Amino acid sequence: MTSDQFSHLDLSKPRWPQDNYTGRAKHFSTVTNPLNVLLSSKDLDAAKKLVTTFNNQEPLPPGTTEQDLWKAKYRYDSAFHPDTKEKMLIFGRMSAQVPMNMTITGCMLTFYRTTPAIVFWQWTNQSFNAIVNYTNRSGDAPLSTKRILTSYACATTGAVGTALALNSMTKKLPALVGRFVPFAAVACANCINIPLMRSRELTEGITVTTKDGEVIGESKTAAKKAIVQVTVSRIGMAVPGMVIPPIIMNRMSKGAFLKRFPLMNAPIQVGLVGLSLIFATPLCCALFPQQSSIATGKLEQNLQHDIKNRGLQVAEVYFNKGL
């Protein structure tokens, strides 16, 4: 079987249209599918081989279907770095987001009363974020170790400091208020971590292009918009899992079940967070198009002049917002 039979497919792009929210949500539901974490090295290598064979227009295995190709594409994308083509650390893959975050977040929401517990779980969360950032670093312009460590240290300090300060301030307030302290700390850390990790983009800009892909230049204004969008998405992912479970657990804590079986507190909380994240992760990743846009009139003056001098009639330019 030859690749010509599937010449209409482009495995370098998502399966669904990305100019509408539904298409983006379907795409990210596949990208963040936690079941991909369970795939063996043999499964992943087979997916890579099939995708590579198709891209090289070589003969495909007999009986290969379009569904097989899409399945292989998303398996391959879930484990191999898009630039280096190397297999990524399992804990840093997008498919590991739900199982890792549900465990860490569930424990943050359960053990939020004592200082040692706050410090440990906020540190664990930021350590995981550092692994994700390192694993998904750009292959063309890799993050330096210094930048990663600086971001990690500042985000951890911000998260722990916020959690400890708010925990102290809310001791005399209703118990439910105290349960929201971990969310405030995580939101604070995201506001520190993401801009720091991408500070190079703020100082040098990111590539902006026309809709057809023609490169216009580097824009700091577009970089700011991209970082804001990613920060909003990351905080949005945390909202359902860190807001809904505390409300449920606060009610349950007044009932007989948790008083009789207190050890069930953490497992129930982790399960509730996991249920929330299964939906929140892809839906919030899809809030903004991967190829986002900005009005030409909002670009730096030098870029506006370049566009005018080149005779380009474009109302908007496009850029990759990142994840």
Confidence label for 138 from pLDDT (cuts 50, 70 and 90): low
What's the pLDDT score for residue 164?
84
pLDDT in tens, 179-197: 788 888 888 888 887 888 7
Instruction: Please state, in angstroms and rounded to a whole number, the distance separating the CA atoms of residues 199 and 181.
Output: 27
CB of 286 closer than 8 Å to CB of 21? yes
Instruction: Please state, in angstroms and rounded to a whole number, the distance separating the CA atoms of residues 141 and 215.
Output: 17
CB atoms within 10 A of CB 19: 8
DSSP H helical ranges for the chain: 21-31, 41-55, 66-79, 97-110, 115-135, 145-169, 175-179, 181-197, 199-204, 220-252, 256-260, 265-285, 301-309
pLDDT of residue 297 exceeding 60, the answer is yes
Confidence label for 71 from pLDDT (cuts 50, 70 and 90): very high
**What angle do the packed helices 220-252 and 265-285 form, to 10 degrees?**
150
Instruction: Please state, in angstroms and rounded to a whole number, the distance separating the CA atoms of residues 185 and 191.
Output: 10
If you average pLDDT over residues 214-241, what whole number do you get? Answer: 89
What's the pLDDT score for residue 209?
87
CB of 247 closer than 8 Å to CB of 176? yes
Confidence label for 85 from pLDDT (cuts 50, 70 and 90): confident
Per the DSSP assignment, residues forming a β-bridge with 209 are: 215, 318
Q: How far is CA 195 from CA 39, 96, 101, 147, 201, in A?
A: 33, 23, 21, 11, 9
Read off the pTM: 0.80
b/e map 278-304, b = 16+ CB within 10 Å: bebbbbbbbbbbbebbbebeebbeebe
Spans of all domains in the chain: 3-87, 95-206+219-289
